[in-house]
Amino acid sequence: MQVTLAIIDDDLQLLSLIGTHFEQCPGFAPPLLFNEGKTAIQKLARRKVDIALVDLLLPGDSGLRVIRRIAEKGLARQIIAFTNCDDDATIGEALASGATGYLLKGMPLADLAHGLLRCLRGEPVVSPPVLRSLIARYRKPKPPGLSEILSPAELRVIELGAAGHDCKTVASLLGLSVATVYVHNKRIAKKLGVPNRLAAIVKFKESGGGASANAAPATAAA
């Protein structure tokens, strides 16, 4: 059975070029061509297709609205956004509107045909630049560890504080003056983005930094 395809794009030259390609493309029936969304919706309501290839910058009804209406009415098995827009916001809107794929214009027509066939097999069809953008958008950077935020001396101070020692005891155990311990605590709180020593200790423990808090302290002064 041949794949039925609707192409909706107001660029008449591109529409003709792609239409001619798919007329001669094995496995595809001659495509339905539309240069605006309203007529496309009306025609597709009477003749559903396997794939709708939709430009996002259409006159009148926007491509996003056309995609939404095709999806809501079930007028195509697959809906592919076909556009020059590669910004994150537009990609997100298209996918949220019901697009099942996102391809950028300018790709070889043979690759376009292969991509459309893949989408009917349930494979995700996304141009590589779009895929990279999506990955970068949702990949969460690894937060820096405490050893990257605090100096070794500060780590020793907060470890002992987390173990329940007061500033005077911490100073004695580390061979520091109490004033120096106060300075360390002030810097630690600032680096951890908290108002005081107690809040810093709480954040330190929540981060898992309290695991070694009961280890034997260093005896050399920082």
Domain positions in the chain are 5-138, 146-212
- Indicate if the pLDDT at residue 221 is higher than 60: no
Identify the DSSP state of 60: S
Residue 10 pLDDT? 93
Is 51 a residue whose pLDDT tops 60?
yes
Look at residue 121 and tell me whether its pLDDT is greater than 50.
yes
Considering the domain 146-212 in this protein, what is its CATH number? 1.10.10.10
DSSP assignment of 105-118: TTS-HHHHHHHHHH
* Longest CA span, the chain: 86
Q: Helices (H) and strands (E) in the chain — how many of each?
A: 11, 6
Quick one: pLDDT at residue 91?
Answer: 87
Tens digit of each residue's pLDDT (9 = 90 or more) over 168-192: 999 999 999 999 999 999 999 999 9
What pLDDT score was predicted for residue 218?
41
Between the two ends of the chain, the Cα-to-Cα distance in Å is 78
Structure tokens at 85: 């827009």
CATH superfamily of 5-138: Response regulator (3.40.50.2300)
- Report d(CA 9, CA 58) in Å as an integer: 7
The answer to whether residue 15 scores a pLDDT higher than 70 is yes
